[in-house]
Each structure stands twice: as structure tokens, then as C-alpha cells.
Amino acid sequence: MPVAALAVLLAASCAYGAESWTPQLGKVSGTVLVFAKGSDEGLPAEDGAQLEEGDRIETGEDSSAELALHQGSVMELGAGTSMTVESVKKKDSWFSLSLGSFIAKFERFAVNQRASVRTPTSVAAVRGTEFGVEVADDGETSIGVFDEGRVAVTQSDGDGVEETTLEQNQEVVLAPGEGPDTVSKGGKRFLRARALKRFEGRRARLERVRERREEIRKTWKDLPPKQRRELRAKWQHGMRERVRNMPPEQRQRLKEGFQRRQESLERRRGALEQLRQLPPEKRRQFGEKLRENFRQNMRENRPGGGERGGDLRERIKERRQERRDGGQRGGMGPGRQEDGMGPGRGQGGGQRQEKRGPGGRRDEQRGGGHPPPKR
């Protein structure tokens, strides 16, 4: 290769490393699939899998996955989560959370760096913090900050409501179609931030994320683009072989379960866009109908949903009321989905055990997993 061409390649590689994060998966437990941008082929996730812009991560029932943006910023995706890595550019990285939950610890970014999370009802801009985001079956979004950092929240359909900064141990809850709960300051309206209640039950997950971030720091290596592509291609090839070797009925259930859920999420996006175009006085009534439709669609997309649907509506209403009242349910948060395969162990994943801790919270522990991969 000519010296000039080699110099160009090296310069491009250095520029990519300087301008973009190099996200990858950490520990994977249960059934977790990764869909590449524009593909309907979901490949089983693997510890250390290299991620790219446009990748969508889907976690099944009783499943979880770690997503590390770099060695200082780590998320734990809970069960029933659908998240897309939209941009890995350091100057404007962002993710979309359509359903489910995550708990994260992000280090403080440089002045010219920013990261945000977009949900059906909000945009959360991260300032370097410990925080959590949850999106329930009916589109309701909860955002909370734990013991450090700040998150700036903007409601998607909050007409005239300013960006609101959540400080330590504060949270907000946003529902589609409902007028935001606001306070007035200096002639402007802001979302009403309340003391942390819902996310208090997620502190066991936060402790895991804190511990895992320190472990990841010790083993993390920023790989050049060529090596990342090679590792990604190797993982994709191996996982395609693994899927082909599955029993046909298992492979079909895996595909259909996630496909139904994605179709339901696409319908919800369209309905929310229709809701935003309505005048404020009509949003509340229309929003309540939409939320009931969201819940019905998600019920239908659960295996056996028709058979179990008799009392599921009431259970969902009860859970939602408990969340409004500050009830602590712990565990992996709202929005759990079944993947058609039942709970299990993914490659490199561990099994979970749950213990009841003080206040009725579930303190989840893992065992039997593999040690963190060397990178």
C-alpha cells in the first residue's frame, strides 16, 4: 500500500476514535437480541459484542444487558426493553427508549460532548450522572436522578413548558396526552420535580451498575475501527450459525415474538404523533383512549395474551395507580415482555435470584455468570 494511502487511513481511524464513542455490550443474561439498522434479523447478543449506530437491542422476559458507551458510562437494560443506539458521535450521542427501562451511571462529559435519551413523551439530556428511565406499556415515562449529577428533561407535547433540570434524588412522571404537572418561576412554566420515590426501588440495580463500571474500567480497550469491524463480523457469523442450529419451532417463536412487539411499537409511534398535532384541549381525552389501546396491543403481543387477558387489564391499572402513589415494586421496572421462549440463559449470561429486602423491595442477585471479558 502506498505510504500516502496508509497515512490517509491512519488519519481517518484516529479521527473516528476521537469523534465517536465505541459502544459494546457487557454482561448479557437471558434472551437478548440485536437488530442491525434496517434489518429484521435479530441475532442473539453476546458479552463484548461491538455495536454500531442504528443497532436495536431487545431484551426478553427475565433478561438484561449492559451497554457501555465507553469505560466511564454504562447502562443496565432491564427486562422487556427496546432501545436503539441512534448516534455515537461524541458531540451529540443519543438513544431512543421505546419500551422498558434502564439504570445508568455516566461520567461527566467534556464541554463539547453531549448525550440524550428520547422516549415517546420526552427527551432527557444527560449532564453526567446516575439516573434511570422507564417507559411503561401505555407510554408513560418516568425519569429519575439518584445521588449525583443532573438530567435536563423536555416533554415532547408540553406546550409552553421549559426544559426542567432534575437534581439529585428527584424524578418526574410524564404520560402521553396528559397536561404536565408544572410550577411557575419567573413567569415561565417548568415540570414539577418530586422527591425520588419510584426509583428508590431501583437502588439494587444502581449498585450493580456502579460495581460493573469499575470492573469495565479495568479491562476496557478502545479498539481501532478495523478490529471492531472484524470482531463484529465474527460475532454475527457465529450467532447466525447458532440461530440456524435452533429447533425450527424455537427459531420461529423467537422471530415472531419480537416482530409482533416491534409492529406494536410502530403503531404507538404513529398514534403519539397524531396526538401531538391535536389542540391541547382535546389531548387528554384522546390520550386516555390511546393509552388503553397501547395496553391492549401489548397484551395481545404477549404469548397467551388472549387467554390471560381476563384480569390483566385490572392488574395493569393497579400497577399504574401504585406508581402514581409512589408504590415501590422493585425488580426490573415496567414494560416486561415475554419473548416466546421463556426465561433462560444467554451466552455468557447468569441466572438471577431475588430476595425481599427492607421495604418489600426485590434485591436481585446474579450467580453462575462468566467473568467480565478481556478486551
pTM of the model: 0.71
CA dist 118 and 285 (Å) reads 24
Domains of the chain: 15-370 (2.60.120.1440)
CA distances from 171 to 23, 133, 156, 193, 300 (A): 27, 10, 17, 6, 31
Cβ-proximal residues to 93 (8 Å cutoff; 6+ apart), any chain: 21, 69, 87, 113, 114, 115, 116
Count of Cβ atoms closer than 10 Å to residue 62 Cβ: 21
Q: What is the CA radius of gyration of the chain?
A: 21
Strand bridging mode 351-356 / 93-105: unpaired
Query: Per-residue confidence of the chain (375 residues) as pLDDT tens digits?
Result: 444 443 333 333 333 457 899 999 999 999 899 999 988 888 999 999 999 999 999 998 889 999 999 999 999 999 989 999 999 999 999 999 998 999 999 998 888 889 999 998 899 999 889 999 999 887 789 999 999 999 999 987 667 889 999 999 999 998 876 777 889 998 999 999 999 999 999 999 999 999 999 999 998 988 899 999 999 999 999 999 988 898 998 888 877 877 777 777 777 777 777 776 777 667 667 767 766 776 676 666 654 443 333 344 454 455 555 555 554 443 333 333 333 333 333 333 444 444 444 444 444 444 444 444 444
